[in-house]
Amino acid sequence: MQVSIPSLIFAATLAATIAHGHVSSATKPIQPQLKNNDGLIIHPEPIPLLAITPNSAMDSVEYLGNAAVQFISQMVSIPQENVRVSHQFIDAFTGITHVHLVQTFSSMDISNSVANVNIRNNKVISSSHTFAPQMSLHKAAQFVKTSGDSAKEALGALAKHLDIPLTSSDLDQVTVFTVNNLLGGQQISIEGIPTKLALDGTAMAERAYVQNESEQLVPVWRIVVEQQDHWWNSYVDGSGKVVRLADWYSQSESYLVYPHNVLSPDDGQRRLLSNPANHVASPRGWATGKYTIGNNVWAQSNPNGGSSWRLNHRPKSASGKFSYPLDLTKEPATYVDASITQLFYTNNLMHDLSFIYGFTEEAGNFQDINYSGKGLANDSVIANTQDGSGTDNANFATPPDGQHPRMRMYIWTQTTPSRDSSLEQDIVAHEYTHGISNRLTGGAANSDCLSANESGGMGEGWSDAVANLLRLNTSHTPATDLILGDYVYRKNIRKYPYSTSITTNPSTYQFLDRPDYKEVHSIGEVWAEMLYEATWALITKNGMAESLFARDLTKGNSIMLQILLDGMKLQPCNPSFVDARNAILQAESNLTSGSNRCVLWKAFAKRGLGVNAAGKDGTTHTEDFSVPAECLKI
Ligand SMILES: *[C@@H]1O[C@H](CO)[C@@H](O)[C@H](O)[C@H]1NC(C)=O
Ligand SMILES: *[C@@H]1O[C@H](CO)[C@@H](O)[C@H](O)[C@H]1NC(C)=O
Ligand SMILES: *[C@@H]1O[C@H](CO)[C@@H](O)[C@H](O)[C@H]1NC(C)=O
Ligand SMILES: *[C@@H]1O[C@H](CO)[C@@H](O)[C@H](O)[C@H]1NC(C)=O
Ligand SMILES: CC(=O)N[C@H]1CO[C@H](CO)[C@@H](O)[C@@H]1O
Ligand SMILES: CC(=O)N[C@H]1CO[C@H](CO)[C@@H](O)[C@@H]1O
Ligand SMILES: [Zn+2]
């Protein structure tokens, strides 16, 4: 029986069926942006420390600490008695003495007014500070309420901020004790706290100041409370507002997955990857809690194929380690947690990769919280593994910015046992790229810009092209041919392998006029083949970066991914092949100033999209194999 070629993915615009609800967002740290933060000041001529007579009783470390106090207080014109050394040591490797200081007021720390002074050979080589000016000290408000009860009120305010409100009967159970701290100041021990707020029922409180964004000193209660996954150092002002908040717990996450250089189970083993998130693209990591849920993706199974997803099954890990058994001799349902973990991983990988290359919050990417405050929030990817609404396929729906896209990965039935498409990177990468191309073409608010014949076809093509780029590595050469879907389908899901050989893959521009090239995936094959030529042309000229994630724009594969995404942003809604090629050429001109222009022209011309090629939807396509005259001499 003939098996029909499955049509991987229609990038359909979403009907308004997706459930919309509150996305729980982790509490964010709060750090006032201080005015007087000039960063590290390097003193090219190291500044000799002023001679304070070393007291013979002091060791040199203490001497340097005092000298640092004197140095910094002179530099910012505040009294020495308002500066305290919080930590200092001599680094045995460099010989540099590092002195850390904090500004004080009324014998209390101004918690975020800090400085550091780096000293070598009794000279200051660099320093920094965020001290409040002397004027602020004069104006500073005194504590009005200092009683233990006001510490309790502050705890109640913190609980509310953390979304764990305490009832009045909860608060009735809470008791406060005054204890003396090591510096002779008063500390308060708070006990009897519900364990939902404090792991062991206790918290520490002390009075302090916080410098706010207008250089004013705000009297606060500092409260330290430890929870299962957080360890909060908080500063609550008299009105109950949390004005500073830090989490001492750094979330660690790990995933047992096929890493991105292992295309599928056919290609290698799973490995446990620790903290794989890119710090720029996902500053707070991938999983924000105990499940495969995060700011970029919510991954779950969906065996019945319905549209609900929030409460669907997901693996749970209290420790942040997502590691589940996988026996490929059994049916996919037996390893659903491994599959969800893999899908979560690959989606996040695509998020981070595309973010680095400019699919940012501002550009309309997929995130629940936009950390930059730009772009619309609440649109993480809904990624369903083993989705019951189909088999032998996968798809991705992209509504406009601010609405969740949905990825549905199906089980493939070509083999016994069946295979799970979430385990094949090229298919997941293909799907995710539909989201990128749809959001970037025509702007993030318009999801209808790859919906004509040619543009829809190119949507398929970009998806194959990015999947190809992601899997290329330094042992590949221009002679490498790539096929898609090999793991789940056991053969190529496209007509021809992607290849720089005209014999292996004969696709050219004029194929678009053939009756068997009206369907988007066929059109996409022609476009992706042109992009495969362009990719190798760029790599041949510029070499290949070992990892795309380094975004080394001197290397061919990174240049290619960059101009693909830049081109999407430049091109019109529903572009033709000619438009998209021109946008890529313009992106190249901006990025590498034309140094790769002729290489690109030659690649496109090799496949009939040369300088005199003409055509668009509704017309015939005239192919042309020539390059601009300027490219003939090179
Ligand atoms: C996200 O969605 C929730 C619930 O629908 C809403 O309360 C919240 O304001 C939204 N956030 C943004 C930034 O749109
Ligand atoms: C800083 O604190 C002062 C005194 O409490 C207040 O008047 C001012 O509005 C605060 N500034 C900011 C930016 O919060
Ligand atoms: C490149 O990928 C191939 C699979 O296509 C793999 O066999 C090979 O080991 C990889 N090489 C490197 C350097 O990662
Ligand atoms: C788009 O393709 C369909 C069939 O695949 C065809 O009927 C239609 O005429 C095409 N539209 C244009 C504008 O070429
Ligand atoms: C434009 C826009 O919707 N910006 C949102 C980004 O996210 C923050 C919350 O993190 C919202 O407050 C903004 O409205
Ligand atoms: C080579 C070149 O033209 N680079 C420009 C690309 O666009 C950015 C943003 O407009 C400019 O800053 C670059 O100079
Ligand atoms: Zn597709």
- We report the CATH number of the domain holding residue 276 as 3.10.170.10
Domain contains 502: yes
Pocket test for ligand 1, best of 22, 370, 372, 379 (most atoms within 8 A of CB): 22
The pLDDT value recorded for residue 55 is 56
Contact 599, 537 (CB under 8 A): yes
Contact 339, 420 (CB under 8 A): yes
Contact 382, 306 (CB under 8 A): no
Nearest to 259 by CA among 487, 477, 423: 423
Active-site entry in 431, 454, 460, 588: 431
- C-alpha 196: how far from chain center: 29
Predicted confidence (pLDDT) at residue 223 exceeds the cutoff of 60: yes
The token duo for 525 is 């094959």
Same domain, 221 and 360: no
Range of the domain at 69: 41-139
Tell me the CA–centroid distance for residue 591 and ligand 6, in Å.
7
Nearest to 39 by CA among 111, 127, 134: 127
Which residue has the least CA distance to atom 3 on ligand 1? 22
Amino acid, res. 20: H
Contact 288, 320 (CB under 8 A): no
- In 130-276, beta strands by DSSP E: 175-180, 186-191, 203-211, 217-226, 231-237, 242-247, 254-257, 271-274
Same domain, 501 and 631: yes
Same domain, 294 and 411: yes
Domain contains 253: no
The token duo for 160 is 């509310």
Domain contains 35: no
Same domain, 333 and 193: no
Place of tokens 């507002």: 241
Same domain, 434 and 539: no
Domain contains 34: no
Which residue has the least CA distance to atom 2 on ligand 3? 473
Tell me the CA–centroid distance for residue 395 and ligand 7, in Å.
7
Per-residue pLDDT tens for 288-327? 878 999 999 999 999 999 999 999 999 998 778 899 999 9
Same domain, 300 and 371: yes
Tell me the CA–centroid distance for residue 217 and ligand 2, in Å.
8
Peptide bond into 417 cis (omega under 30): yes
Which residue has the least CA distance to atom 7 on ligand 1? 22
Domain contains 424: yes
Which residue has the least CA distance to atom 14 on ligand 5? 373
Q: Which of 89, 117, 139 is the last residue of a domain?
A: 139
Lowest mean pLDDT among 61-65, 271-275, 328-332, 378-382: 61-65
Tell me the CA–centroid distance for residue 214 and ligand 2, in Å.
6
The set of protein residues with a Cβ atom below 6 angstroms from ligand 3 is: 261, 267, 473-475
Contact 242, 223 (CB under 8 A): no
Same domain, 587 and 564: yes
The pLDDT value recorded for residue 10 is 31
Tell me the CA–centroid distance for residue 313 and ligand 7, in Å.
26
Residue 166 DSSP one-character state: P
Q: Which of 394, 419, 447 is the last residue of a domain?
A: 447
Phi, psi of 530 (to 5 degrees): -60, -40
Q: Which of 139, 172, 197 is the last residue of a domain?
A: 139
Query: Which residues have a beta carbon within 5 Å of ligand 7, which is an ion?
Result: 8-9, 460, 463
Nearest to 385 by CA among 408, 419, 414: 408
Residues linked to residue 226 through DSSP beta bridges, in sequence order: 231
Rounded to 10°, the helix 453-471/520-542 angle is 40
Predicted confidence (pLDDT) at residue 569 exceeds the cutoff of 90: yes
Provide the domain count of the chain. 4
Ligand 5 site, residue 376, Cβ cutoff 6 A: yes
Per-residue pLDDT, averaged over 80-91, amounts to 88
Predicted confidence (pLDDT) at residue 211 exceeds the cutoff of 50: yes
The pLDDT value recorded for residue 289 is 77
The pLDDT value recorded for residue 456 is 95
Same domain, 218 and 156: yes
Same domain, 298 and 436: yes
Which residue has the least CA distance to atom 9 on ligand 5? 369
The pLDDT value recorded for residue 16 is 20
Same domain, 20 and 165: no
Q: Which atom of ligand 3 is closest in space to residue 546's alpha carbon?
A: 13
Predicted confidence (pLDDT) at residue 13 exceeds the cutoff of 50: no
Same domain, 99 and 57: yes
Domain contains 36: no
Tell me the CA–centroid distance for residue 384 and ligand 5, in Å.
26
Q: What is the pTM of this model?
A: 0.69
Which residue has the least CA distance to atom 4 on ligand 1? 22
Lowest mean pLDDT among 147-151, 336-340, 519-523: 147-151
CATH of the domain at 59: 3.10.450
| Side-chain-facing half-sphere of 20: CA atoms under 13 Å | 11
The answer for residues whose C-beta is within 8 angstroms of residue 405's C-beta and 6 or more apart is 14, 366, 379, 381, 382, 396, 397, 398, 399, 435
In whole angstroms, what is the distance from residue 270 CA to residue 205 CA?
46
CATH of the domain at 531: 1.10.390.10
The pLDDT value recorded for residue 37 is 76
The set of protein residues with a Cβ atom below 6 angstroms from ligand 1 is: 20-23, 377-378
Q: Is 88 helix (H, G, I), strand (E, B) or coil?
A: strand
The token duo for 110 is 């101004």
Relative to beta strand 231-237, strand 217-226 is antiparallel
Task: Mark whether 431 is an active-site residue.
Answer: yes
Nearest to 576 by CA among 531, 512, 508, 502: 512
Domain contains 443: yes
Nearest to 403 by CA among 438, 432, 442, 445: 445
Pocket test for ligand 1, best of 18, 23, 368, 376 (most atoms within 8 A of CB): 23
Domain contains 167: yes
Same domain, 210 and 119: no
In whole angstroms, what is the distance from residue 539 CA to residue 20 CA?
44
